[in-house]
């Protein structure tokens, strides 16, 4: 049987075109999993079952001419064969049904061929003890021919599971040789010559047949890998295509909404220009039309700035530049930005003094606060409060207003581009672009901040921007009041 072990080394060496890790080589000795190997193993297993049944039927037929056991013992042996055959079929069934990738991930599934081979070889070893007698007869000849045919049929299993094939060969022929020796059917030299001949036949099958099959299996494995890679690439391309279509659809809606709003505001400006020109021509006072024209142009400038901000964010060209920033300095800039809007005194904007320093992108954070304050001033009936406070592991920047509040079902929709909730009648003249809160959400996402909304209908709303404290920094948030 040493020749069989040599064949194992030769066949495995010829199948390896490149060096493999030791762990992977050990796994391949137990079971090589690929569609091509699976097809080869299933075909070899089917051939083995044909040979098994042929051998059993031949032994039953010969037993009637050369009986060696009682009828009850014979039928018991036949029933045990049927039971072990069914058990082996059930053990191999999952390997036939499941995909190679599923088998590759399960150690239990990869051990099923070895367990099946142990059951089959153990049955045949027991069979030799029952059928081999003290004299050579057709029974021994039938067993020899059957075992040789079974061994040749196992050759197809060698590229798939070398360990199972080797164990099967050793148990089968060692059991046969022991039965010949213990029953004094043949002498020890004759048994040795017989084993050498059998090993030579098996080695020739393994060396010649598997050497040819391995090249085909290697090409099949390469094709399988190429197919899997192609499928993955197709899936990625499909995902990219869907993303591109969604992006194009979003851009289309964006430009459609933006152009519609821009035309509306230009039309309003043209009306006030016409009104001012008519007043000048008739000698009337044109101050009111010109004032409204200035308001419309200011609103148009704000709208264009927001559209450009939103488009720049969507184009992913906004880089984050972190620096130590004083929250109080941002509050002062906010106060200056809205000084003109508050000049008429209808609404108030108050800041609670904050002595915090954060590491952030100052321009992005300022734009977030500007849009939140602008949104609050548009809706509030009285004043707007801006403050900063510590909340667990975050710094919370809050903008409070005294507006009509936000419905619970709309607290996520308000961050969508061009989304506008129904506004009260006295605020329709201040209808916004629908981009302010969308810009807030996208800038916050870019900085890694969370935005929370709390509101009570009829009493107002509070927008909270949560800036996490990064403990990896020496000082990310510092309270100078301490």
**pLDDT at res. 19:** 41
229 and 324 in a common domain: no
* pLDDT of 220: 66
CATH number of the domain that residue 396 is part of: 3.30.565.10
Provide the CA 315 distance to its chain's centre, in angstroms.
26
Backbone φ and ψ for 39, nearest 5 degrees, come out as: -60, -45
Residues 23 and 144 in one domain: yes
**Domain boundary, last residue among 235, 254, 274:** 235
Of 78, 93, 190, give the one whose Cα is nearest residue 140: 190
Whether residue 434 sits in one domain with residue 338: yes
Q: Looking at the domain assignment, is residue 286 inside a domain?
A: no
Q: What is the pLDDT of residue 253?
A: 64
Same domain, residue pair 218 and 363: no
Verify that 27 and 125 share a domain, yes or no: yes
Long-range Cβ pairs for the range 240-246 (8 Å, 24+): none
Give me the sign of the Cα torsion angle 187, 189, 190, 196.
positive
Pair (375, 230) in one structural domain? no
Query: Do 227 and 325 fall into the same domain?
Result: no
Dihedral sign (CA 70, 72, 75, 76)? negative
Q: How far apart are CA 1 and CA 174, in angstroms?
A: 9
- List the domain range (segments joined by +) for residue 359: 320-479
- State the DSSP code for 206: I
> Alpha-carbon distance 440 to 374, whole Å?
11
Instruction: Choose one of 202, 235, 268: the last residue of a domain.
Output: 235
| Structural domain includes residue 98 | yes
Is 123 domain-assigned?
Answer: yes
Domain C-terminal end among 189, 212, 235: 235
- What does the alpha-carbon distance between residue 447 and residue 342 come to, in Å, rounded to a whole number? 30
Domain match, 347 and 202 both: no
In this structure, are 333 and 208 located in the same domain?
no
Q: Are residues 86 and 195 in the same domain?
A: yes
Assess if residue 93 is contained within a domain. Answer: yes
Total domains present in the chain: 2
Q: What pLDDT score was predicted for residue 256?
A: 65
Buried b (16+ CB within 10 A) or exposed e, 328-349: bebbeebeeebeeeeeeeebeb
pLDDT at site 322 = 87
Residue 67 is assigned to a structural domain of this protein? yes
- Residue 398's pLDDT is 93
- Residue 312 in any domain: the answer is no
Domain membership of residue 37 (yes or no) is yes
pTM for the structure as a whole: 0.45
The token duo for 89 is 């079929």
Mean pLDDT split into 10-residue runs, the chain, 482 residues: 42 42 53 74 86 91 86 92 93 85 82 89 90 84 89 80 86 90 88 88 74 65 77 87 76 64 72 78 75 75 69 62 90 86 79 89 88 88 90 90 85 72 48 71 88 90 88 39 36
Kindly state whether residues 471 and 340 are assigned to the same domain.
yes
Residue 325 and residue 207 share a domain: no
Give CA–CA dist 131/125, Å, rounded: 10
Residue 294 located in a structural domain: no
Tokens of 317: 């060209």
Retrieve residue 22's tokens: 């030791």
205 DSSP assignment: I
């Amino acid at each position: 049987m040493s020749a069989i072990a040599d064949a194992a080394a030769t066949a495995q060496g010829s199948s390896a075109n490149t060096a493999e890790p030791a762990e992977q080589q050990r796994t391949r000795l137990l079971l090589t999993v690929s569609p091509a190997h699976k097809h080869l193993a299933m075909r070899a297993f089917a051939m083995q079952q044909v040979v098994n049944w042929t051998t059993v039927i031949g032994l039953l037929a010969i037993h009637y001419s050369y009986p060696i056991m009682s009828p009850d013992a014979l039928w018991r042996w036949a029933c045990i064969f049927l039971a072990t055959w069914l058990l082996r079929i059930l053990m191999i069934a999952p390997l036939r049904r499941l995909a190679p990738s599923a088998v590759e991930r399960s150690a239990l599934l990869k051990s099923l061929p070895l367990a099946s081979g142990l059951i089959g070889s153990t049955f045949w070893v027991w069979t030799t003890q029952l059928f081999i007698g003290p004299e050579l007869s057709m029974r021994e000849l039938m067993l020899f021919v059957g075992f040789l045919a079974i061994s040749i049929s196992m050759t197809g299993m060698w590229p798939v599971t070398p360990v199972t094939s080797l164990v099967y060969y050793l148990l089968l022929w060692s059991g046969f040789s022991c039965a010949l020796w213990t029953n004094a059917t043949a002498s020890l030299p004759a048994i040795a010559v017989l084993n050498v001949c059998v090993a030579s036949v098996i080695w020739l099958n393994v060396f010649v047949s598997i050497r040819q099959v391995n090249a085909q299996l290697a090409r099949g494995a390469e094709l399988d890998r190429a197919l899997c890679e192609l499928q993955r690439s197709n899936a990625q391309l499909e995902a990219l295509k869907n993303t591109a279509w969604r992006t194009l659809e979003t851009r289309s809606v964006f430009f459609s909404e933006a152009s519609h709003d821009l035309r509306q505001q230009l039309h309003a400006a043209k009306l006030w220009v016409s009104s001012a020109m008519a007043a000048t021509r008739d000698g009337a006072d044109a101050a009111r039309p010109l004032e409204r024209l200035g308001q419309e142009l200011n609103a148009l400038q704000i709208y264009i700035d927001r559209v450009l901000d939103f488009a720049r964010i969507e184009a992913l060209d906004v880089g984050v530049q972190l620096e130590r920033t004083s929250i109080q300095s941002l509050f002062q800039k906010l106060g200056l930005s809205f000084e003109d809007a508050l000049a008429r005194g209808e609404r108030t904007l108050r800041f609670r003094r904050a002595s915090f320093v954060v590491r952030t992108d100052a321009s992005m954070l300022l734009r977030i606060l500007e849009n939140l304050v602008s949104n609050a001033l548009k809706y509030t009936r009285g004043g707007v409060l801006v403050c900063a406070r510590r909340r667990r592991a975050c710094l919370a920047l809050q903008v409070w207003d005294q507006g009509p509040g936000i419905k619970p079902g709309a607290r996520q929709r308000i961050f969508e581009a061009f989304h506008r909730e129904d506004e009260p009648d006295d605020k329709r003249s201040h209808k916004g672009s629908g981009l302010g809160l969308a810009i807030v959400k996208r800038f916050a996402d870019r900085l890694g901040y969370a935005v929370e909304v709390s509101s009570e209908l009829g009493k107002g709303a509070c927008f909270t921007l949560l800036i996490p404290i990064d403990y990896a920094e020496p000082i990310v948030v510092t309270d100078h009041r301490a």
